[in-house]
């Protein structure tokens, strides 16, 4: 637990009635923008971060308000707490036309002092704050819209409707200016920052949602081509989700069709049992696979996993499903040879069903909201099971605190698979040093700290480690202590990771100064999977780690 001593003013955000601090910032288009120069009619200033899913949820509503203001649409102003490159990516992804300013030094953020973002400040004609709120709140957006539109004599409209697929409210992300709070000697208030796991998210799901629509095809219209042209799966044919197939599937599972399992980001479409089944039918699932698919959807919709960010990032990350426990063998999930190669119907169809739900209910299609630069083969299907029979250690679900007889699904926002060949080493340490070398390149070689990874140990490597006395925790600790980036790699300025080197921890690895790759051993996940022939393990890097990015989420497998 870390104790930070802060000045009391740091805990107070500007409130209605306060004078709005004047500021001038460069716009994304290169022109300077000043608050004084924009004085007059009410002005809405919104502080945002580019990687905050709640900010991304808010932006379309700000666009709608700016459009309703017509020629006065530039009175909606966003202040980005990130750099130009990240902000430009966000603006282009959402086709933002109102002014977007860059507060790279965070001086303006400190003067307004929001504890989290998005943060909305409505500045009135007299330069005083009329509204100040943080997070996503439909009521606040509508209140700001009413004040701005009525002051200009424009028709008042609801910019955030109650039934548009988004939740009524959603907590935001910690404001950048508070992420690296520095102790100051004049403070009087103690704030405790903890590294404990995030609490359970607020459940914003409705209990029920409308039924899926039915479509009748003409006699000469092929169902396979219709599914592709309708966008159900525009890149690969699917099993047509006919009424007969869906109803037969529903009859075999113990859930009402209109029950909502989750709201799927980024469009927050309700994932009802019926709609999940329709996507499961298209993917080729058996009804019994729903025992696993339902908790998979719950995990994907968990705000801690941050599917909104995973779906919209330019990174290649996509949800990797890791099934642990006896349900894997009972339902026919592959865990041995070729485990990442879609070698079993269960793995392939469940992984594919999740991707279809993400596209059809979450709305993230490539090139539109899904802005991944290169993509990932796992965006077809990314589902594996642990090889318990060949593992010398406790399975993942037991390691996470579940009972031996239970089963779980764990979601990890994973990039591609990087194979690690080590056929020569005869000691556990030798195997791990080779894996550590590959781990050091996760995300980008010189980037340290905010990274995580899953190490997939093949049975032969796991056996070597076990025979040398390594427990799973020993493997994780060894990799943590011996994975780093040599300081000499930072001799060339301007490469990714060099800008943040002041925050890296310097350690000695094999007698040479290194920056430690990971902040904590918990950022390294370990499973045993794959076949018994061939000493090939693998490393999968993740997306941004922690509360600001995507946290690994686990749910129990149960009806």
Q: What's the rounded Cα separation, in Å, for the pair 26 and 48? A: 15
The band of 189, judged by pLDDT with boundaries at 50, 70 and 90, is very low
- pLDDT of amino acid 304: 82
Dihedral, CA atoms, 274, 276, 279, 284, nearest 10 degrees? Answer: -100
pLDDT at 438 over 60: yes
In angstroms, the Cα distances linking 439 to 33, 339, 511, 539 are 44, 21, 19, 7
| pTM more than 0.85 | no
Domain ranges of the chain: 2-193, 223-489+505-556
Higher pLDDT, 53 or 111: 111
Q: What's the rounded Cα separation, in Å, for the pair 35 and 417? A: 49
- pLDDT of amino acid 198: 33
- pLDDT of amino acid 525: 97
- pLDDT of amino acid 233: 84
- pLDDT of amino acid 165: 53
- Which pLDDT tens digit goes with each residue over 335-392? 999 999 989 999 999 999 999 999 999 988 888 888 889 999 999 999 999 999 999 9
For the ranges 144-158, 224-238, 524-538, the lowest mean pLDDT is seen at: 224-238
Higher pLDDT, 456 or 309: 456
- pLDDT of amino acid 207: 59
pLDDT at 206 over 60: no
For the ranges 177-181, 417-421, 428-432, the lowest mean pLDDT is seen at: 177-181
> In the structure encoding, which two tokens stand for residue 455, read together?
């190490």
> In the structure encoding, which two tokens stand for residue 344, read together?
């079993």
322 beta partners? 384, 410
Q: What's the rounded Cα separation, in Å, for the pair 391 and 465? A: 11
C-alpha count within 13 angstroms, C-beta hemisphere, residue 471: 5
Characterise 47 by phi-psi region: left (phi > 0), alpha (psi -120 to 50), beta (else): beta
pLDDT at 180 over 80: no
Q: What's the rounded Cα separation, in Å, for the pair 73 and 62? A: 10
For all residues of the chain together, what is the average pLDDT? 88
- Which pLDDT tens digit goes with each residue over 275-290? 999 999 999 999 999 9
- pLDDT of amino acid 271: 93
The band of 193, judged by pLDDT with boundaries at 50, 70 and 90, is very low
Higher pLDDT, 45 or 220: 45
Q: Residue 38 burial (CB < 10 Å; 0-12/13-18/19+)?
A: middle
Three-state SS letters, 410-469: EEEEEEEEEEEECCCCCCHHHHHHHHHHHHCCCCCCCCCECCCEEEEECHHHHHHHHHCC
Peptide bond preceding 266 in cis form (omega within 30 of 0)? yes
- pLDDT of amino acid 538: 98
DSSP E strand boundaries for 207-345:
260-264, 269-272, 318-324
Name, in order, each residue with C-beta under 8 angstroms of 283's C-beta and a sequence gap of 6 or more.
238, 239, 349, 350, 352, 353, 356
559 beta partners? none
pLDDT at 93 over 80: no
C-alpha count within 13 angstroms, C-beta hemisphere, residue 69: 27
pLDDT at 192 over 50: no
pLDDT at 1 over 80: no
- pLDDT of amino acid 5: 27
pLDDT at 7 over 70: no
CA 165 to chain centre: 19
Instruction: Report the relative pairing of strands 2-6 and 24-26 from DSSP bridges.
Output: unpaired
- Which pLDDT tens digit goes with each residue over 321-340? 999 999 999 999 999 999 99
pLDDT at 412 over 90: yes
The class of domain 2-193 in CATH terms is: alpha beta
């Amino acid at each position: 637990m870390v104790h930070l001593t802060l000045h009391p003013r740091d805990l107070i955000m500007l409130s209605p009635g306060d004078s709005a601090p004047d500021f001038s910032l460069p716009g994304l288009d290169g022109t300077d923008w000043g608050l004084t120069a924009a004085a007059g009619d009410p002005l809405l200033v919104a502080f945002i971060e580019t990687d905050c899913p709640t900010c991304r949820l808010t932006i379309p509503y700000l666009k709608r308000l700016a459009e309703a203001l017509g020629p006065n649409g530039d009175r909606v102003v966003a202040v980005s707490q990130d750099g130009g490159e990240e902000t430009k990516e966000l603006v282009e992804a959402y086709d933002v036309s109102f002014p977007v300013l860059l507060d790279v030094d965070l001086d303006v953020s400190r003067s307004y002092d929001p504890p989290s973002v998005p943060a909305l400040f409505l500045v009135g004609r007299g330069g005083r704050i009329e509204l100040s709120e943080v997070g996503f709140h439909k009521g606040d957006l509508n209140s700001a819209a009413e004040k701005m539109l009525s002051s200009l004599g424009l028709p008042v409209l609801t910019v955030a409707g109650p039934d548009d697929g988004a939740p009524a409210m959603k907590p935001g992300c910690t404001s950048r200016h508070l992420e690296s709070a520095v102790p100051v000697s004049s403070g009087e208030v103690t704030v405790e920052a903890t590294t404990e796991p995030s609490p359970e998210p607020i459940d914003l799901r409705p209990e029920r949602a409308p039924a899926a629509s039915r479509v009748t095809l003409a006699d000469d219209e092929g169902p396979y081509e219709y599914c592709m042209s309708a966008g159900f799966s525009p890149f690969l044919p699917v099993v047509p989700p006919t009424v007969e197939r869906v109803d037969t599937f529903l009859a075999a599972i113990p859930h009402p069709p209109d029950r909502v399992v989750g709201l799927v980001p980024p469009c927050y479409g309700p994932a009802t049992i019926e709609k999940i089944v329709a996507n499961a039918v298209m993917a080729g699932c058996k009804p019994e696979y729903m025992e696993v698919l339902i908790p998979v959807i719950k995990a994907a919709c968990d705000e801690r996993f941050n599917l909104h960010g995973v779906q919209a990032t330019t990174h290649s990350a996509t949800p990797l499903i890791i099934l642990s426990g006896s349900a894997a063998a009972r339902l026919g999930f592959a865990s041995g040879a070729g485990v990442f190669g879609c070698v079993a119907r269960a793995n392939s169809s469940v992984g594919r069903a999740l991707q279809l739900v993400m596209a059809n209910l979450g709305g993230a299609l490539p090139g539109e909201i899904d802005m991944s630069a290169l993509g990932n083969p796992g965006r077809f299907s990314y589902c594996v099971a642990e090889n318990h029979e060949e593992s010398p250690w406790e399975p993942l679900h037991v390691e996470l605190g579940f009972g031996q007889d239970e089963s779980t699904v764990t979601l990890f926002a994973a990039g591609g698979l990087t194979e690690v060949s080590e056929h020569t080493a005869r000691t556990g340490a030798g195997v791990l040093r080779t894996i550590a070398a590959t781990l050091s390149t996760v995300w980008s070689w010189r980037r340290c700290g905010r990274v995580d990874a899953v190490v997939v140990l093949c049975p032969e490597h796991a056996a070597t480690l076990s025979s040398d006395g390594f427990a799973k925790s020993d493997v994780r600790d060894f990799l943590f202590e011996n994975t780093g980036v040599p300081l000499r790699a930072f001799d060339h300025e301007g490469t990714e990771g060099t800008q943040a080197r002041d925050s890296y921890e310097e350690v000695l690895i094999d007698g040479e100064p290194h920056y430690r790759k990971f902040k904590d051993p918990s950022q390294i996940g370990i499973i045993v999977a794959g076949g018994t022939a061939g000493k090939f393990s693998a490393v999968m890097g993740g997306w941004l780690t922690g509360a600001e990015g995507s946290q690994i989420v686990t749910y129990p497998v149960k009806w």
